[in-house]
Structure 1
């Protein structure tokens, strides 16, 4: 029953009288939250990965990161992840390790920030924040400079080879007859 239906059924003149008798106990409230699935919908699950080699070799004892929290775009090696002061600004944090697969996202993010600087009138504080973001993304990109691409060469090697013409051997070209 709703509060007003219960008020009528009990014959109370004021809803406040009905509320006095219909107080919800905390245990009943907690049970209602559980039945509604409130806690399942509002829990953020973060996968924790352990570097067993760092633990076995003793590197973890010397301060090497050994526990990583998977953030989707990268890993956080901060032991007190739930209390991290850099929440939502991982690129600026020394504990952040980008995933090898995030290079394209980093480059795209940097290009978008540079476009902001050029196209949007920004206050001094906004400009400073965008420039800090670009600097943080450049650091992340540098961390991934020696990670091989799917084709084999690293981004550093690709940058070194820019300007050089790479010829494809004619033996690797498949000739397809044209239809005229």
Structure 2
């Protein structure tokens, strides 16, 4: 993997010696990729190619910003904007929203299933809950109490706890 380095002229001798020591350490390191000296002509060609890509990108952005899709199509070598639209990929799904219109209240509540509570009005059966609080506030004690009330049946204050198996 070639690395191109250009060393600027150094004003201070001490700074140049320090930089030389760093380069020697870097070359001694087995993790350093191989270095390659690049001729000026090759470096200039790479820089001009990079500038050409940059100017093309800037022209495309300017054409899109100025709302000139014809110019954007020409940058891609297309004849018109219809070719540009044709070249654009189609969506992979057809998730068009389907609006049902006005629904009667009977149809609206037809599929309603009332909640099935494990602890009345607190925790529904069949859901996963997370109990979070600071350390030492009694999370484990509360969950052990709910587990015991589930195994034995009972109430937690005003809330009835459904009897069931505890793991």
TM-score tier (shorter): under 0.3
Q: Which structure shows the bigger proportion of residues in helix conformation?
A: 1
- Under a length normalisation based on structure 2, what TM-score does the superposition of the two structures give? 0.20
The structure having more radius of gyration, on CA atoms, is: 2
Q: TM-score, normalised by structure 1?
A: 0.19
